[in-house]
Amino acid sequence: MTTPSTTARKTKSATVNRMLRRDKGATLAEIGKATAWKPHSCRAFLTGIRKTGATLAKAARPDGSIAYHVTSEAR
């Protein structure tokens, strides 16, 4: 039997949060593909992350896309 603390959440928000905490981060296209969100919804989610007090870094990838990565968590 699994307990809630050992079961990974399978919500879209949880998916995006995991993606943003990867070493390589996530692009808006990757977030949109994983969640079926439109670009404006992806950007709104990133704004919500910032409003929690977390710090997001932007980095250009070799293909020219911009990846977002959580560098510090909210307090």
pLDDT of residue 32: 97
Q: Name the pLDDT band for 72 (thresholds 50, 70, 90).
A: confident
Question: What DSSP string runs through 25-65?
Answer: -EEHHHHHHHH---HHHHHHHHHHHHHTT-EEEEEE-TTS-
Query: Quick check: 65 pLDDT over 60?
Result: yes
- Across the chain, what does the average pLDDT equal? 90
> In percent, how much of the chain has pLDDT > 90?
81
> pTM for the complete prediction?
0.82
End-to-end CA separation in angstroms for the chain:
33
Mean pLDDT to the nearest integer, 24-42: 97
Longest pairwise C-alpha distance within the chain: 46
Residue with tokens 């929690």: 52
Walk me through the domains of the chain, giving residue ranges and CATH numbers: 12-72 (1.10.10.10)
Cα distance between residue 24 and residue 45, in whole Å: 18
